[in-house]
Structure formats: C-alpha cells, structure tokens
Structure 1
Amino acid sequence: MELIDLSSEIFAGMQVHSSQPPVVVEQWNDHGQKVTIGKTVHSSASVRLSMGDHSGTHVDAPRHFDPAPGAASIEQLPLERFFGPGLCLDLSHVPLRHAVSPHELQEAVERSGELLSPGDTVLLHMATNIRLRGTPAYETDFPGLSPDAVHWLADSGISLFGVEAMSPAPAGELNLQAHMICAERGITHIECLDNLERLVGRGRFTFIGFPLKIRGGTAGPMRAVAVFP
C-alpha cells in the first residue's frame, strides 16, 4: 500500500487568502518546566495555534457559501463524503487565469482512461502550486473551473472535487459564481491541495480527507491522503 500526502504544511506566516486571519504558531511549553510525581520526573512541549478555518488544505462547508438558514456547518457533514474512490485529472497545461470548460474536463477524463462514477472525489491538477505558490499571484492568477464545469461535475454525481488553488474558479466573479453553484447543486470542494502531480496517470485511488470537527465551522482543515494498493 502507498500513501501520498495531499496536504499543505501548516506553519507560522504561511500563505492564506487575504480574507482570512494569519496563521500564528507560538511555543506554549518547551520542556523547561519539570514536574515530579513520586519518583517520576516529567516535562512536556506544546504550541499554541491560531488560524482561520480556511487555512491550509481544507474543505468548504455549505455554511461558507450558502446563506440559507440551516446550511450545514463542517461538523454536520457525513464522514462518508470524505472517504471513497478518487481520480485526479491532468489539467496542468491550462493557462493561468483560465476557466476550464466542460469539454476540457471531458477530454481530461478520456486521457485518464477512466470513467467518472457517482460518489467520486475528483481532484484537478492545474500546476497551480509549481507556477504560483509563494508569490503574490498565488491569490489572483490561478486557473479554475468555469460555472458550466462546476455544473458538469455536479451532473456527474461526484461527492466533491478539489483544487490546488485557494479557490475553485478563477479569481473574481467566476469564483463567486462557482461557490453559489456548489450551494445550488449540493456539492462542495477542497482547496489548497498539494502533490497532485504525483497522482496523474496512475488511475484510481482511495481518497481520505476527514475535516476537523469544528462546531459551527465554515470549513475544515484536513489531512488529505491518496491511498494506492
């Protein structure tokens, strides 16, 4: 069995969307204070972590993009949604800021040699990290899905989809529309994935990515993993 980590590392000062608070990691305990109980001497280390629920690799909860009363928060989503068959589509050739069409998605599926099935998790490798991560353009110049492409994925019956970028569609109006379509169609998406290039051309895998159980959360940071037999 092979496990491929699809999660970005969380660290102080990491890139986050400008709408989100910065990530702060501070030492809390550092083994400097020892406790003695009986004949046992013990010390411990821990850090204090401050971050938004949209930091690092995370999945959006409906509450984030759906203003309807009762839209689900992250802890209300069933775990089954985050464990199941996965497929990574190669769209690394698309230009920056490009809005991927349904036709381009269909071509990527055909190149993979697989078929989409209801319940799939579909990951989209657009070479965003290698081209943009660590630069200011990471927040503005990434490619993503067109509104019609989000509908196309929903029509395919997928469980969720995921991208490397901070958002599922190109920055601006298209991104707002993509989020609203997710609300309309009852699907959601993972953002800030990593290592998708390691999945391309390898066919199907098992996707595991359980979000943190944050009460009322609008998203859930997750440790996303692809499992190959």
Structure 2
Amino acid sequence: MVGIRRIIDLSVPIRTYMPVWPTNPLPDVKPVGILSRDGYNVESIQMVTHTGTHVDAPYHMLESPITVDQLDLNRLIGYGYVVRPKFNGVEITKDDLNRMWRPEYDGNIVLIETGWWKKRAFTKEFLYDFPGLSIDAAKFLMDHNVKAVGIDTLGIEPYNHKDFEVHKLLLSRNVYIVEDLTNLSELEDGKRYFIVILPIKFQGASGSMARVVAIDFGE
C-alpha cells in the first residue's frame, strides 16, 4: 500500500485587505466572539466568492446553469502536474505549452506556474500586469482533454483581455478554472501528484474560495 509522503498546500491564506482582483472589494475578516469575553472565538467574514485561491464555475461567465455547487468533483480531484512554460510578454501561447508538453499530461489536471505568486503585494505589477493564457493556448488545453487548469495569478488570462474569451472558451467545455494558486515551486517538473481542489459549496454561486492541495504518494 502506497502511503502519503507529503501534502503541499497550494492555497493562499485569506486575510483582511489581501490583494484580490482589482475591481473586487477587499475582504474583511474580524473577530466577533472573543474567548475572554464570550467564552469562545468566532469571526465574521465579508468578501466576494472569487477571493484568494478559488474556482470559477461555468455560470461565472456563461448563460449556464452549472454553478459552483454543481461542479463535477471528478474534474477537480485527480492526478495532475505542474507546468512551467517559457513565454514572452503577458501571453502564454499554444507554442509555449507545446514546447514543454508531455503525453502524460493529457486528460489530467494542469497547474501553471508563472512565478507570479511570489510577487503578491498591493502593486500595479501584481494586480494588473500578470500573465495568462492566449486563446490558442486554451484551445490547446482543450485538445489535450485537460480536466481543470490552475494558475498562480489573479486571472487565467491577462488583465487587459477584457472580453474574458479564455474564461468563456474553457468553461464552455467544462474545463474548470482555478486562480490565485501559491507555492507551486514546491512541485517537481514531470512528477505526478494527486490534486484535490475543493470549493465551498455555495448554492447558486459563480465560484468559490477553495482549499487546493497536491498529494505526493512517493510514486
């Protein structure tokens, strides 16, 4: 029997006033129950569902009935790999992915590391200048039957792509999107991990914060 060698947490911690998508309100997490006063600690939270590491459902960008509580967990839990394409500018293209693609990536979860998670801060660069997929890169992932795609930036496509065509294309084919990952440098190139992506089950919502982990079974 193969045991778990290591669990790598790929989720950003949610905290008050953390960097989020530029047009979204900042989260507010504050104590409302205090142990010394009330006999317990408890917090209230106010934030949008696409805060921190989160999953986009088709309903987010399409006239689709598939909300986050209806996502197929078989597409969010399974084997996956990290990829580190080399790219120029802000677009990761089909050619960039093709140069480093391996057959074993087909049909699995793919997590894209750009290194952007290391820049996390309230800066113009982190909030607005992040890289993302081009349309042809999204089509490439669909052609390779990727179940879900994650990235370590605030969006799956560059911020200046205001039409959100990459989002729409992927979600129209039920390729689920995971954004704002972290710690991807902890994953090895070409190594297969068991990926668990669990969004909170908000009924009727367009997406949800998620705890994302990569499990190393020592294979």
TM over 0.5: yes
Q: In structure 1, what is the Cα distance between the partners aligned to 2:171 and 2:71?
A: 14
| Structure 1 contact 207–226 (Cα < 8 Å) conserved | yes
The one of 187, 193, 196 equivalent to 1:199 is 187
The one of 13, 17, 23 equivalent to 2:17 is 13
The Cα RMSD (Å) is: 1.6
Q: How does 1:90-109 map to 2 (within 5 A)?
A: 90-91=84-85, 93-95=86-88, 97-109=89-101
Partner residue in 2 for 1:37: none
Relative to structure 1, the CA distance from residue 209 to residue 184 in structure 2 (aligned partners, 3 Å threshold; closer, same or farther) is closer
Q: How does 1:65-104 map to 2 (within 5 A)?
A: 65-66=61-62, 68=63, 70-91=64-85, 93-95=86-88, 97-104=89-96
| Structure 2 contact 116–130 (Cα < 8 Å) conserved | yes
Q: Deviations over 1:172-212 (max 9, x none)?
A: 22761111212332322100000111113251100001100
The one of 170, 175, 186 equivalent to 2:158 is 170
| Structure 2 contact 171–177 (Cα < 8 Å) conserved | no
SS in 1 for 2:104: coil
SS in 2 for 1:129: helix
Q: In structure 1, what is the Cα distance between the partners aligned to 2:37 and 2:43?
A: 15
User: Residue 128 in 1 paired to residue 116 in 2?
Assistant: yes
Partner residue in 2 for 1:48: 44
Relative to structure 1, the CA distance from residue 222 to residue 174 in structure 2 (aligned partners, 3 Å threshold; closer, same or farther) is same
Q: Deviations over 1:3-51 (max 9, x none)?
A: 00000010000011122221001111111335xxxxxxxx211111111
Q: In structure 1, what is the Cα distance between the partners aligned to 2:145 and 2:13?
A: 31
| Structure 1 contact 168–175 (Cα < 8 Å) conserved | no
Q: Gaps (5+ residues) in structure 2?
A: none
Structure with max Cα Rg: 1
SS in 1 for 2:13: coil
Q: Gaps (5+ residues) in structure 1?
A: 35-42
Q: In structure 2, what is the Cα distance between the partners aligned to 1:101 and 1:200?
A: 22
| Structure 1 contact 123–161 (Cα < 8 Å) conserved | yes
| Residue identity (%) | 26
User: Residue 145 in 1 paired to residue 133 in 2?
Assistant: yes
